[in-house]
Amino acid sequence: MTNIDHWSSSIDLDYRYTAGVAGETFLRKIAKGRIMASRCSYCRLTYLPPRLYCEKCLRKIDTWVQVRGKGELYSYTMTGRGKKKSLYGLVKFAGIEGGLVGRIVGSDLADLKFGMPVRVDLKNSEKGLLVYLHV
Amino acid sequence: MVYSGIGISPQDVANSRYLTVPYSANLRYRWSTGAAVGRFLAELKNGKIVGRKCDKCKRVLVPPRMFCERDFIQTSKWVYVQDAGIVDTYSISYIAADASRLEKPLIVAVIRLDGTGEAGILHILGGIEPKDVMIGMRVKAVWKPKRRRVGAITDIRYFAPAGDAK
Ligand SMILES: [Zn+2]
Ligand SMILES: [Zn+2]
């Protein structure tokens, strides 16, 4: 009799990620071209992406505000392999906590400066929503 | 303050009521059985249950271990035990191994096999309704046919009340 010296198997975990109440609203609105943030009326803090609870006072948030106008380039990075490179940036908006990440188009790395004005351009595609940043 | 969450039913998912992103993770593993469990599994394939005996405390350990955790000495010999015993403790589970809900519950039990010490093997009970299960009741293994055994604890399909077992 030969010992059975090992046991092979797998643990299969199938799951669905949900964006949450605030995330769901954010995604549905941004697909229609509107960037929505949530605001705590007690702390006067505005969150992007929106949160359902204020992380400062832990109160439930029920105020939504639309983010309009230009943002500023807070940070950027270049990614890629070989010759194909892409630029990505984090945009912040005046008076709003957090920000939005998108792909910087129409500019080279040398053109970018922290704090420069950025226009956000939202495009729906087969791949999903694309966030383009123009500096 | 308590904030209640929002439950999402399979119907909500089917109707795309909420935005979801599906993921699958297959965590593959290979577990090394060791000397004691390696033989235990091979014996199960032959329809036998084997344990290891400690000379000092006289216990027969099933599943077998090569050392006695009570005396910190090596166990000394292989001992075959009966495939029948008593229900030591049990639990009625309405949740399957993949966390899905079950209409008909599983009865998970610890079986203390005849001739072994305290503690025993974890298995399921079959051929009995949950309301009829009692601690201390006699049960016997119901095996898979020999050709379908692979050397796993599931070579025993379940334990059934001793009178009904074949
Ligand atoms: Zn607040
Ligand atoms: Zn011992």
Containing structural domain, residue A35: 18-68
Q: pLDDT category, B2, cuts 50, 70, 90?
A: low
Residue B88: inside a domain, yes or no?
yes
The answer for residues whose C-beta is within 8 angstroms of residue B74's C-beta and 6 or more apart is B66, B67, B68
The answer to whether the CB atoms of A2 and B33 lie below 8 A apart is no
Which range (A112-121, B18-27, B144-153) has the least confidence? B18-27
- All residue ranges of chain A with pLDDT < 50 are none
Q: Which two tokens stand for residue A79?
A: 């990614």
Q: Which of B3, B16, B18 should we substitute to test contact with A (largest number of A Cβ atoms within 10 Å)?
A: B18
Domain that holds residue B41: 34-161
Percent above pLDDT 90 for chain B:
78
> Do A22 and A76 have their domain in common?
no
As a whole number of angstroms, the distance between CA A23 and CA B65 comes to 52
A127: CATH: 2.40.50
Answer yes or no: is B132 within a domain: yes
| Predicted structure pTM score | 0.63
- Cα B69 from chain centre: 21
Is B143 part of a structural domain of the chain?
yes
Say if residue A108 is in the same domain as residue A83: yes
Task: Give the count of domains, chain A.
Answer: 2
Specify the CATH number for the domain of residue B90. Answer: 2.40.50.140
Q: Are residues A120 and A79 in the same domain?
A: yes
> Which ipTM was obtained for this model?
0.71
Other C-beta atoms within 10 Å of B162: how many? 13
How does pLDDT run across B74-125, given as a tens digit for each residue? 999 999 999 999 999 999 999 988 778 899 999 999 999 998 876 689 999 9
Average pLDDT, chain B: 91
Cβ-defined contact of A12 to B25 (cutoff 8 Å): yes
Distance of residue B83 Cα from the nearest chain A Cα, in angstroms? 20
Q: What is the mean pLDDT of residues B135-145?
A: 96
pLDDT in tens, A17-46: 999 999 999 999 998 899 999 999 999 999
Please tell me whether residues A24 and A78 are part of one structural domain: no
Q: How many domains does chain B have?
A: 1
Same domain (yes/no): A47, A74: no
